Structure 1
Amino acid sequence: MPGASAAGSPAGPAAPAGPVGPSVGAAPADTIGRSGTYLTDSDRRVVVLHGITVPAGVTPTAGDIDTWVGFGFTGVRLAVPMASGGRFPATSGGPVLDGAGAATTPADPGLDQAAALTRMFTDRGLRVTLRIVPSSAGYVPSVAGLAAGLERLATRFRDVPGLLGYEVPDGGGGGAGLVAAVAAHDGAHLLWRERPAPFDAASTVAVNDPTGYLVGWKDGSAVSVRGLVASADAFGLSWFYDVPSPTGGTVGTAAPVGLGGAERRAPAPPADIVRPYPVAIAGVPEVLRFDASRVLTVAYRTAPSAGPPLAAGTATAISVPAWSYPTGYQVQVTGARVTSAPGAGLLCLVSDPGAARVEVRVSPATGPAVTPPSVAGSAGCRATPAIVPAGGRSPGPDGPRVAASGDDATEEYSGPLLWLLPLVGAALAALLLGALLRPWRRRSGPGPGWSAVERPTMADTSAGGD
């Protein structure tokens, strides 16, 4: 299975690259893992990441990060330049290192720069994916080079909190060797490999079978961006926005050589990608819909798809950016109580005792101005007081339900539709994407969260396989 994560978890201080395996212990704090088709956090909540790609040679400012947090972004995809032999040279435009920071991995100063940037992001609650890119234009890493680089990268970052994992380009094979390179040094973090998106060959996804996230944004036009972000959200996929490059590809996959002054600045995300969405779901998602009236509808089952029940009081976190609700918002909820303050940019809910299903409806209103969260992600939902925003209602598990538009409102979600699309043919896939039919709602089948067809996976079609 391509991109499968290794078993085990590391512990202990980070060490210089070398032939050592991961130690045994708990995963670092805020590590994102995978459970079936879902990304999950340490509380076993389903996690959705919206974020941005930071190109090589770019050091974002505190103001850039404030903007991203205010937009509801929860992740950063950080480009890390690699040279031949799997080495990581220092990058012009990256953080200037001094003192102990520069001595951690003297043979690979680029890893120290990446570590400094990662700390900058994770200190604000952003989860980070480290994406290997070439250190110079024209350099195409070999499978052996990628494996050597992954060994150094995994050893350096295996104990770093807040990571989603490591990402490599589609190198035409060597998947099993790349998985092994990570597993030998890091048992906690996932390996992601880029593939053409099955729903659009001009777009790109990064895969850890059977799930993935969107990274390639076609031509970058407003029409493409709006369609892709709406489709990704409807299918429950995470995404990282990456600005298309004038020379083809994206700035986040290009070498740092030749970057001009404008490109040295952090990319400015288009307004089209800013939208409310569930950051962490205490249960199994069933419905996600954001319509033209700026009404967000979220529904989920409170029981996890596998394992014991979630801990009592585990919160669901929903990003509600001011961009989407400039005059404020109101909340209607059944099966849960709201625990965040009126106008909070992070809406927090805790399910009522005995509630099997929660439905939430967020709509525009005139009320308290939306207050951006101070940190990204779900950390702001750890408080427990029951506070219901103006216009909200929390009637309990037996109270009235929020009406969902359309039919089949109680159908169950079957995992990211992305992996089913290759099975239904290109024409039907285009029809599904164009109409955005039944977002996060599919008929349940023989197993929890799966349709009646055989469980789909994203097969690795690269030469050599995994």
Structure 2
Amino acid sequence: MVDVHASADLTALDHPSRRRRPRAARPAGTRSAPRRLALTTAVATVAIQVVAGAVPVAWAQPAPDPSVASPAPVRSVAPEPPAGTVLRVGRFAVDLDGRTLFVRGVSVPPDTVLDQATVARWAAAGFTAARLGVRMEADGTFSGQAAGAAGAAAAAGQARPPAGAGPTVGDGLDRLAASVATVTGQGLRVMIQIVPTATAARAGDEAFAAGLRRLSSRFRDVAGLVGFELAAQASANSPLLSGAVRLEDAHHLLWRSGPALFDPTASTATNDEAALLVGWAGGDPATVQRLLSAAESTQIGWFFDRPPTGPLLAALARPYPAAVAGVPVSLAYNPSGRLLALSYLPVSPAGNVFRPGAMTEIRVPAEAYPDGYLVRVSGATVVSAPGAGVVCLVTDAAAARVDVRVEPASAGGAPPVAPPPGDPCPAAGATTTAPGAATAPAGATGGGIGPAATGRADGRSADENVNGMLLWALPLAGATGMTVVLAGLWSRLRRDHSHGPASPRGE
């Protein structure tokens, strides 16, 4: 017997109107869109929270408590150069502000003890440096030999050996350090010259390298160091010697003495293209005047090879630019008319533009202008007082060239020349910047011009202000980024659903 109700139900279930309609195939990837939305949202949330939360924490570390003791600082591999360090750019010696330097000074024999009065007389005569000799033994050590220098010091009349001192051992660098302190204490720079014994001169570069390592390790932190000078017997370009200095000293120059290119009877100390006149042939006044003119025409500094006295001191006391805020075009001095002429372009030897306030310093010794002097200048402004022992010039803003003339004044026409103070142009600190670029070390010697520290009245640094801003700015940026990501994902999801095919009707 057939169950009518059951048959009717089956028929009804099989009726086309009750049959499950086939679902249209979805586009590839539509079925997994919710999963991708969730996964992408989670990844984006984690990434943005890491950026927005971790970065402020890393940048906004609290300032160290000064009351809590900290370990002693470890010496940097390449610390900032000491104040007054002499660098090199091309053929010019430069200071840390990028100004061209014309170093002028006197040479002091090894083992000579200097006194402050002697160095003060040199400064009053316009000298800005001293070249101190130190005697080196064959093993690269520096032993005291006071008796050997007594005759030279007595003949010079400007420095004296220690009274009653005979040859000593092991105190060469100590005695040198005392002389270095005396020179730099008067505001002068210093060159350290290795003077080898006869045995050391035959020992070769290994002995010189050992001596250079000792010197550079002892004096690398001295302010106003021109560099280290080797005698002519050392190899001209030995990597061993340069490496000996760089092993201990990242900044100071190594100078090597040899015959002068402009005069075979003279000698110069060179660092690549830069040179300093250090050997003066016979040293008579006529020869001195000739070599001085040659040094000026070739635009190099010099060290007279002995402490000068009498007529020699008068011949050496002539005006000159000690520091030029630019590249010298011409430099000449006429001893008969006592006329100094200087022209320069107001850009650094590295091609950078000086910041406002960079000064040119012209030394004007009283011996050269007993009745005072007059200054005529175009392209710059004199900011020093009348009669100052150093003429300080600031380049005019629109100047493309500066021309300076210093000439004697008539009797009573100008104030007498005053000795230069320790810091003759205190506002001279003005580093250089290339247009649109930061400064960089110059050449192998590093025209190392670091950024200046900026002080604040509230005692807070600029980093602290930046960190405070980051604490609220980065989380806000993270929230904004999250909104953008979610909005994009939601828009894509809606677009995927709206573009899918409609269900068929009336099958």
Q: TM-score, structure 1 length as denominator?
A: 0.67
Match of 1:132 among 188, 194, 201: 194
1:390-418, CA deviations, whole angstroms, 9 ceiling, x for partnerless residues? Answer: xxxxxxxxxxxxxxxxxxxxxxxxxxxxx
| Alignment correspondent of 2:330 | 287
Distance 1:312 1:141 in 2: 51
Distance 2:420 2:234 in 1: 42
Distance 2:350 2:199 in 1: 46
2:274 equivalent to 1:207: no
Letter matched to residue 242 of structure 2: V
Match of 2:419 among 343, 349, 372: 372
- How far the C-alpha of 1:137 sits from its partner, in A, is 8.5
2:245 equivalent to 1:187: no
Letter matched to residue 114 of structure 1: L
1:204/1:216 contact within 8 Å kept: yes
Gaps of 5+ in 2: 1-73, 151-159, 163-167, 429-507
Match of 2:87 among 16, 29, 33: 33
- How far the C-alpha of 1:328 sits from its partner, in A, is 0.4
| Alignment correspondent of 1:83 | 137
| Alignment correspondent of 2:173 | 111
- How far the C-alpha of 1:81 sits from its partner, in A, is 0.9
Match of 2:399 among 336, 350, 355: 355
| Alignment correspondent of 2:357 | 313
Letter matched to residue 112 of structure 2: V
User: Does 142-151 or 85-94 show the bigger shift?
Assistant: 85-94
Match of 1:171 among 201, 221, 233: 233
| Alignment correspondent of 1:299 | 343
- How far the C-alpha of 1:57 sits from its partner, in A, is 2.4
1:174-207, CA deviations, whole angstroms, 9 ceiling, x for partnerless residues? Answer: 7221111111111110000111112222211111
Match of 1:235 among 293, 298, 306: 298
| Alignment correspondent of 1:162 | 224
| Identity of matched residues, % | 41
2:114/2:182 contact within 8 Å kept: no
Larger radius of gyration: 2
- How far the C-alpha of 1:135 sits from its partner, in A, is 4.8
2:317 equivalent to 1:274: yes
Distance 2:299 2:115 in 1: 30
| Alignment correspondent of 2:366 | 322
Gaps of 5+ in 1: 1-19, 97-105, 244-265, 385-466
2:309 equivalent to 1:222: no
SS in 2 for 1:198: coil
Structure 1 289/139 Cα, relative in aligned 2: closer, same or farther at 3 Å? closer
| Alignment correspondent of 1:432 | none
SS in 2 for 1:85: coil
1:21/1:185 contact within 8 Å kept: no
Letter matched to residue 284 of structure 2: S
Letter matched to residue 201 of structure 1: P
**Aligned-pair Cα RMSD in Å:** 2.4
SS in 2 for 1:120: helix
1:301/1:358 contact within 8 Å kept: yes
Query: How many correspondences in the alignment?
Result: 332
1:248-296, CA deviations, whole angstroms, 9 ceiling, x for partnerless residues? Answer: xxxxxxxxxxxxxxxxxx5535321211000000011112121221111
Letter matched to residue 374 of structure 1: P
User: Does 53-62 or 182-191 show the bigger shift?
Assistant: 53-62
Distance 1:73 1:137 in 2: 34
Letter matched to residue 127 of structure 1: R
| Alignment correspondent of 1:144 | 206
Distance 1:358 1:78 in 2: 35
Match of 1:44 among 98, 107, 121: 98
2:357/2:427 contact within 8 Å kept: no
Letter matched to residue 228 of structure 1: L
2:231/2:256 contact within 8 Å kept: yes
Distance 1:166 1:138 in 2: 17
Letter matched to residue 370 of structure 1: V
- How far the C-alpha of 1:63 sits from its partner, in A, is 2.2
Q: TM-score, structure 2 length as denominator?
A: 0.62
Distance 1:328 1:170 in 2: 42
Runs of 4+ in 1 over 4 A off after TM superposition: 93-96, 135-141
Letter matched to residue 61 of structure 1: D
Structure 1 372/282 Cα, relative in aligned 2: closer, same or farther at 3 Å? same
Letter matched to residue 313 of structure 2: P
